[in-house]
Amino acid sequence: MSIPHWILLACFGAFVGASLFICAQIAASARTFDPSKPRGSSWAGVVYSFTGAMSPLKKESARRHMPTYLLGLIFHGGVFFAFAWLVALFFDARAPFIWTKISAWVLGATALCGAALLVKRIVKADLRDLSCPDDYFSNGLVVGFQVMTAAALVEPGFTGALFICAGALFLYIPLGKLRHAIYFPMTRIYLGEFFGKRGVWGAKRGGQWEV
């Protein structure tokens, strides 16, 4: 293994360790004592939280900001796609050239979506007010990671640089706003549980109250 391989491995190890620490922190007091009598099902609420509640049909914020919603969706899709290629490149698994080329174009497009979100954050006054350097840096880091993955797919000479870039990303995730990636599943679970127990989400409407 090359030095970049070892750097990436070490950074990934630090990321896993920090993520486990965060998960342990949540798990240590995951359940809030709540003896109120349920009106609906927490489980149904959690399921809905990850499904229907995420749909633009139900999520007004997505409908009202459809271009941003789509850019965000594609950008995040690109993150997972780039991670998949990172694993492949780490183990030196190469696909036929046509696939790597297509993948590079796809990652270029997803990175452009991320860059568009970054530009929006810079240009729009309301978003600038909400933002701190971490917001810009985090966005830039993930865009950079996707661009580097695309570059490494087209030109294997960039693979070492990709590993170092990915290592930096792994180190930064638990520290800055990118840690939302670790917390996201629990956020949806807590919200789903809250609305589900109260019968707001996941409950069948109408029934005996149909007129």
List the interface residues with other proteins, window 17-36 (CB under 8 A).
25-36
Listed residue (152, 187, 146) closest to 169, CA to CA:
146
List the interface residues with other proteins, window 78-97 (CB under 8 A).
none
- The half-sphere exposure of 158 on its side-chain side, counting CA atoms within 13 A, is 17
Nearer to other proteins, 37 or 93 (CB): 37
Nearer to other proteins, 44 or 151 (CB): 44
Task: Count other Cβ atoms within 10 Å, centred on residue 187.
Answer: 11
Q: 3-state class of 205 per DSSP?
A: coil
Per-residue x/- track, 148-187, other proteins (CB under 8 A): ---------------------------xxx-xx-xxx-xx
Tell me how far apart the alpha carbons of residues 176 and 180 are, in angstroms, rounded to a whole number. Answer: 9
What contacts 44, CB < 8 A, 6 or more positions away?
A: 196, 201, 202, 203
76 binds other proteins (CB under 8 A): no
Site of interaction with other proteins (CB under 8 A): 25-37, 39-40, 49, 53, 59-62, 64-65, 68-69, 72, 124-127, 129-135, 137, 175-177, 179-180, 182-184, 186-188, 190-192, 194-195, 198-200, 203, 205-206, 208-211
